[in-house]
Chain A
């Protein structure tokens, strides 16, 4: 897959980092403001997709990246499952219970387990959107002309 023109490349260089940071902001403020894991994850995946579309990438690197993102996706969802099941080991021993201290409402570190869920759901969504995107590109590249 080929890259795009110099103008697009330069703009993407300037923007992609900011988009990535904004995604992280949305994820870690998920329990305080609208947004959260899913929205932030999509934004992070968007920054990677911008880079790939603007700069292009060759086939072998794409398949390697897809392997990596699949791995991240599986790890993230395993951790989310573990966090949900951890309620059965600690606290009141109930599935999905929020057993960490709640803190005061409105602070960044509060609401117990929710920020942790948000972070790993965000990772999961970012990795899976990237995987879908890469898989579709790989399909297209494999196709005989």
Chain B
């Protein structure tokens, strides 16, 4: 069970980073850490004792394969995560150009 708990701890590390960091880029990095902890957990859910990569071998019908569906899900989620990260980095670059800082405490036009 230890790998699963480690995934949860990694998730919490990312959450801690998002809450406490002041730098926009560090917040984006913490988001990525959180994202990949979820992906690791998803990939782990497909694990089977003694399983091999799910490429069907017609000569050996009794082989144990790991579950391929979580892998497909993780791949899709990685693509989505890539789009999110690219989007957030573009926004951060734009913010830097407008405000001249990465510090979140100085970026507060909107309140109320």
Contact = CB atoms under 8 A, between A and B. Distances in A.
Interface stretch (B10-18, B86-94, B103-111): B86-94
Contacts of B75: 38
Contacts of A132: 86
Interface in A24-38: 33-34, 38
A140 interface: yes
Nearest to B71: A34
B93 A139 contact: yes
B79 A38 contact: yes
B90 A136 contact: yes
B55 A34 contact: yes
B93 A136 contact: yes
A63 to B, nearest CB: 16
Interface string A97-138: 000000001100000000000000000010000001001100
Interface residues of A, number: 12
Contacts of B89: 136
A143 interface: yes
B79 A140 contact: no
A33 B93 contact: no
A136 B56 CA distance: 41
A31 to B, nearest CB: 11
A132 B87 CA distance: 9
A38 B94 CA distance: 28
Interface of A: 33-34, 38, 105-106, 125, 132, 135-136, 139-140, 143
24 contacts: A33-B55, A34-B53, A34-B55, A38-B75, A38-B78, A38-B79, A105-B56, A105-B58, A106-B58, A125-B79, A132-B86, A135-B90, A136-B86, A136-B89, A136-B90, A136-B93, A139-B90, A139-B93, A139-B94, A139-B97, A140-B93, A143-B93, A143-B96, A143-B97
7 A-B pairs with least C-beta separation: A132-B86, A139-B93, A143-B97, A38-B79, A38-B75, A136-B89, A34-B53
